[in-house]
Structure 1
């Protein structure tokens, strides 16, 4: 049986996606605008705007990771789109499986794999209003709510933003 302190220590430093906004994300109690790359214990702002901007060069950090990532979870925005076949092939040659999801579901899937201790990377585009994603009143949506079957547990996004939570 593990002690509470060992459970807390295991959680320290872990990247936790908490929700999304029309132009960005909420992770580790921080609101971030734009696309992000999430590693198991680190997140970075990512200089891409659309799925067309996602290239092997924009994912160069994957080649620097040790151990290398098992899975790249791509959050494509408001709806699922496919990466170019050549890019998917290049990633497969590196031993990296690719999961393309809408961003809402990609958040929960990243958290699930990260909680399992898998070496996962999230390449996440925000749900912008251009792509039909997000909400017009700029309210936060919780990734944890989707993982909990749509229950938000009364949690609110940072800065007391009120709004609907995501549901599966």
Structure 2
């Protein structure tokens, strides 16, 4: 009992001492360097990866009306599966339906994730569309088109089986 009483009595003194030591040690340390996360974001640039094989798709630029992929300019919406690219019919977010994504019922191997580029702003995805994507075995990630292109680059470069359905960046609701 006496040991317990002494421990309880000593604890506040120990805590004050630790705080005092911690405060004095921070005064002598060199100043904290700013976080690189604030200085550079992976999503600030599309062309993040320079050593990508020639047959691998890489978004290099986006515009209000299209994208540049592997040095080729594409106007309008794009659908990418792995290293295949094709034009895609939706011109605005409301035109994205299970029908417009029906190719994913037959594509094999099934991509693990579908990155949906909503245009300039992230839009809420219709529950029916979410159910459809889930029924194919894919996960769905809705982003603005700029970040969707960057995310596609990163996941594709990692060798993951990924798909992207992208509206041009200039599209707004």
> Over residues 88-138 of structure 1, what are the superposed CA-to-partner deviations in whole Å (9 max), with x where a residue is unaligned?
01211221100000111101100111011111111000012x629xxxxxx
Alignment partner for residue 70 of structure 1, among 107, 112, 115? Answer: 112
Greater share of helix:
2
Distance 1:122 1:35 in 2: 10
**Alignment match, 1:55:** 97
Q: Could you list the runs of 5+ residues in structure 2 that have no partner in the other structure? A: 1-50
Aligned alpha-carbon RMSD (Å): 1.6
- 2:104–2:136 Cα contact (<8 Å) kept: no
* Residue equivalent to 2:31: none
* Structure 2 match to 1:16: 58
> TM-score by structure 1 length?
0.69
In the TM superposition, what is the alpha-carbon distance from 1:35 to its structure 2 partner? 0.3
- Structure 1 CA distance, aligned partners of 2:164 and 2:119? 13
Q: Provide the aligned length of Structure 1 versus Structure 2.
A: 123
Tell me what 1:84 maps to: 126
Q: Indicate whether 1:96 and 2:138 are aligned.
A: yes
Give the secondary structure class of the aligned counterpart of 1:106.
Answer: helix
| Cα distance between partner residues in 1 of 2:131 and 2:158 | 26
After TM superposition, what 4+ stretches of structure 1 lie above 2 angstroms from structure 2? none
